[in-house]
Amino acid sequence: MPVIMMAGKPKIQFIQGTDELTIPDVKLTKSKDGTNGMAIFRFDQPSVFDSSGEVGDITGFYMIDEEGVLQSVDVNAKFVNGKPSGIEAKYIMRTPRDWDRFMRFMER
């Protein structure tokens, strides 16, 4: 009898091993010829700020699903009155294949 693997929920992490619990706003751009694009993720009060002191520093932006990991190092924290208030992460897609892979992650 075949074994059916139940895929886990896709995850976003800023610190490897620590799942981000906040749902981001996502904006997509795509070139007119469709060959490349960018996704901009904005997290308001992300949960990583609650645990970053105990777990470590933000090392990047990781989107994890059953196909593997999509990652970016284009991550910027926003501060208000010296306190972290948000994170913006950008993921660049340079080929139609990258775009399709990203969209599969987002659909999950």
CATH number, domain with residue 32: 2.40.30.220
The residue among 57 and 46 whose pLDDT is bigger is 46
The answer to whether position 77 is within a domain reads: yes
The answer to whether position 41 is within a domain reads: yes
0.75 exceeded by pTM: yes
The answer to whether position 3 is within a domain reads: no
Q: Domain total for the chain?
A: 1
The answer to whether position 93 is within a domain reads: yes
Average the pLDDT over 81-89 and give the result: 89
Asked if 13 and 70 count as a contact pair (C-beta separation under 8 A), the reply is: no
Asked if 45 and 86 count as a contact pair (C-beta separation under 8 A), the reply is: yes
Average the pLDDT over 56-84 and give the result: 90
**Pairing of the two strands 74-80 and 68-72:** unpaired
The answer to whether position 26 is within a domain reads: yes
Asked if 62 and 70 count as a contact pair (C-beta separation under 8 A), the reply is: yes
Q: Which residues are CB-neighbours of 103 under 8 A, at least 6 positions away? A: none
Provide the token pair at 88. Answer: 């913006």
Residue 69 structural domain: 22-107
The answer to whether position 16 is within a domain reads: no
